[in-house]
Chains A and B, each alone.
Chain A
Amino acid sequence: MSSPSTVLNKEEYQHGYHFPDQSIFKTRRGLDEEIIRAISGQKKEPEWMLDFRLKAYEAFRQKSMPNWGADLSRIDFDNIYYYAKPTEEQKRTWEDVPEDIKETFDRIGIPEAEKKFLAGVGAQYDSEVVYHNLKEELEKQGVVFCSPEEAVQNHPDLVRKYFGTVIPYRDNKFAALNSAVWSGGSFVYVPPGIRVDIPLQAYFRINSENFGQFERTLIIADEGSFVHYVEGCTAPVYTTDSLHSAVVEIIALEGARVRYSTIQNWSGDVYNLVTKRAFAYKNATVEWVDGNLGSKRTMKYPSVFLKEEGAHGEILSIAFAGQGQEQDTGGKVFHLADNTSSVITSKSISKDGGVSSYRGMIKVHPGRKNIRSRVVCDALLLDEKSVSNTYPYMEIASEDVTMEHEASVSKISDDQLFYLQSRGFTEEEAAAMIVNGFLDPLVKELPMEYAVELNRLIELQMEGSVG
């Protein structure tokens, strides 16, 4: 245990990579009001945000753990560091990053700037220039793209109006926890009628607050605007933090369209418990593309509340569960208004005894008219030990609903493997091609470079898995 007498310690960085002579501020293990005040103080937050955090902390203490989904009983809240901030002087250089990690980045073929960001290199990059140019471009259009910390300081009106409105701090235990200790993430505001042509990629913001375990993202797309936000990265996220609990809120005002893409690949000991929810107003569209690889347990169900007429929600979910992993993912759509439509597509892959569960909810409020919804869940099992579950909940309190639901479970067949092997591919390559083929209809929906990365990641996941 680190010294309990002070809340903030300057101590050797002991986790993740070893970077000698570098220090970070971190709170002691465990959570109490004092630590929350310290986090808020570090960020020089106004009183209203501190109040929000404290109320959230109270809710976190009162809320019970979810009694469904993945087994979370081994999470020890008292043994977690809730806040760690790199010091100003901290400079990790690319040379410090272990070779095997660099090699993984190379094999995935990710851009240089992103590599360095992923490795936690907090010094200078080429991409800073890119980011600054991008930022100037965006500022001209009135688009705000910054950390939530900066937003609290510079755009308090927007933050106070929307922060915590889509996902209230008392929504669930992990949303409460995030609300109490959030740090890092993104804040995006797109003014009315503005189309942001290039996807906003989180890694452009590498020189601002680092992304952490409790990141917080808020995206507001004003009337008739469009934005595609790409979160994080597809590369392995190297962390020894055992709990990742993010909150993402999206507000798509009338006629706006927001697409949010993320593919995460956490290390195998991480509990990945994320709350993602969007409000779609009149004729607005929200699309979630959510890929989950790695982690020990993932629970993540991106949701769309179709609040006004003509709103449309789409959720594409990809899950890959390997040995010892449980991916409990899916999506939820709430049809609160007439003439609303939704599509949920889920593809899951289980291998080496991994468990993939699709958990979805379609809810149609009483008397809503002309509702359309389509849910497709396909599961692929790579061996006899692996498991796929489907929990498609539906609460439909209206007659005027067109509802489609398709589910399939398939297995890689020996015939398919042999066919490809006999064309010159190794057994591993053959299996990876079949898995990528299974995902192909979904991957087509991803931005090009993302699709390529996902394909390579699947191939990495498949290495040594067949035999």
Chain B
Amino acid sequence: MLLEIKNLTASVEGKPILKGVDFSLDAGQTHAIMGPNGSGKSTLANILMGNPEYEVTGGSLLWNGTDLLGLEPHERALAGLFLSYQYPVEIPGLTVGKFLKRAAETRLEGEENLNVGSYLKEIRENMEFLEMDRNFINRYLNTGFSGGEKKRMEILQMLMFKPRLAILDETDSGLDIDALRVVSRGVNRLKGPGFSSIIITHYQRILDYVKPDRVHVLYDGRIVESGGPELVNELEKKGYEWIKKQVRGEVSHEQSVHSA
């Protein structure tokens, strides 16, 4: 098991958001986590990456059997985790080229030296693949980028860093169909036994391009439904109201059991 989450609870500024998440993922798999706004999807993504603003209050996170909670964010990145942000942050003054080069250098082992020439070539190829202008390499990271450009920059980083697990947090939101296609192509490019991904999304449309092996529905801090790709269509047809009703139904069912 590449990632194993057990009974994870977490809060933000003292407010409980995750209320017992169980989730596991094998190497090479693509999982989708869907759910309405406010269900805890982004919280889960941030916790996987180690954002200190999110407090884990219980449960466990295992990465290849080791405790992920003991690792700093940068250690998680170097261990092969990658988070594509819903709202990538602007870093004025830091050029994309310099950033990618430094990031590659942190990933070198021992005495290894970065071959800048071939690395630059790889950046250019990937930019072309993502239909990005070459000049992006000289621009300041995410600074003044449009929403779509920021998302492409996230995917470019993913292609360069080749993570073992990429978490795409609402990468599809705010994208037009062309951008969505390009972003999906990036994810599909890495697909293989050494690459897993968690696609966090509100809508089904990115899942038309990136086919998930498993689909989970997160609602009110819990995974309330899991299934194969067919779950996407069901959700599409019935909407999140169906899930909400079902959960409420379960709760009333439990209550009726207890009161009986």
Contacts and interface: CB of A to CB of B under 8 A. Distances in A.
A440 B93 CA distance: 5
A421 B77 contact: yes
A441 B107 contact: no
A414 B54 CA distance: 12
B93 A422 contact: no
A433 B83 CA distance: 20
B78 A424 contact: yes
Nearest to A434: B91
A422 B90 CA distance: 14
Contacts of B161: 423-424
B85 interface: yes
Contacts of A427: 72, 74
A93 interface: no
Given A416-B91, A438-B93, A422 B50 contact: yes
A101 to B, nearest CB: 26
Interface in A422-440: 422-427, 429, 433-434, 436-440
A420 B78 CA distance: 12
A52 interface: no
30 contacts: A414-B52, A418-B49, A418-B52, A418-B53, A418-B89, A419-B88, A419-B89, A421-B50, A421-B72, A422-B76, A422-B77, A423-B77, A423-B161, A424-B77, A424-B103, A424-B107, A424-B161, A425-B74, A427-B72, A427-B74, A429-B74, A433-B91, A433-B94, A434-B91, A434-B93, A434-B94, A437-B91, A438-B92, A439-B93, A440-B94
Given A416-B89, A437-B140, A422 B73 contact: yes
B74 A419 contact: no
Interface string B69-99: 0001110111000010100111111110001
A415 interface: yes
Contact of A422 (B53, B74, B92, B140): B74
Contacts of A398: none
Interface in B134-155: 140
A434 B102 CA distance: 13
B57 interface: no
A423 B103 contact: yes
Nearest to B157: A423
B93 A418 contact: no
Contact of A436 (B49, B53, B93, B103): B93
Which has the most chain B C-beta neighbours within 10 Å: A421, A423, A436?
Answer: A423
Contacts of B49: 418, 422
B106 A424 contact: yes
A413 interface: yes
A416 B76 CA distance: 17
Interface of B: 49-53, 72-74, 76-78, 83, 85, 88-95, 99, 102-103, 106-107, 140, 157, 161
> Chain A contact residues (Cβ within 8 angstroms of B): what range?
20 to 34
Interface string A354-365: 000000000000
Contact of A441 (B74, B76, B93): B93
B63 to A, nearest CB: 15
Contact of B89 (A413, A425, A436, A441): A413
A406 B218 CA distance: 47
Interface of A: 413-416, 418-427, 429, 433-434, 436-441
A419 B91 CA distance: 9
Contact of B94 (A418, A422, A424, A436): A436
B92 A437 contact: yes
Contacts of B90: 416
A423 B157 CA distance: 9
B148 to A, nearest CB: 18
A426 B77 CA distance: 10
A112 B25 CA distance: 54
A424 B74 contact: yes
Interface-centre pick from A415, A420, A440, A441 (highest chain B CB count, 10 A)? A420
B255 to A, nearest CB: 40
A378 to B, nearest CB: 10
Contacts of B91: 416, 419-420, 433-434, 437
A429 to B, nearest CB: 8
Contacts of B93: 434, 436-441
A427 B92 CA distance: 17
B189 to A, nearest CB: 19
Contacts of A420: 91
Contact of B83 (A414, A422, A437, A441): A422
A439 B91 CA distance: 12
Nearest to A414: B53
Nearest to B87: A415
Contacts of B106: 424-425, 429
A204 B76 CA distance: 47
A257 B79 CA distance: 53
A433 B53 contact: no
A418 B161 CA distance: 17
Contacts of B99: 423, 433
A415 B103 contact: no
Q: Which of the listed residues B78, B91, B106, B161 has the most CB atoms from chain A within 10 Å of its own CB?
A: B91
B187 to A, nearest CB: 18
A420 B91 CA distance: 9
Given A413-B89, A414-B53, A415-B89, A421 B140 contact: no
Contacts of B73: 418, 421-422
Nearest to A420: B91
Given A422-B49, A422-B77, A437-B140, 9 more contacts: A413-B89, A416-B89, A419-B91, A423-B99, A423-B161, A424-B77, A429-B102, A436-B93, A440-B95
Contacts of B74: 421-427, 429
A433 B95 CA distance: 10
B184 to A, nearest CB: 22
B92 to A, nearest CB: 6
A434 B140 CA distance: 11
B38 to A, nearest CB: 20
A74 B96 CA distance: 47
A418 B102 CA distance: 16
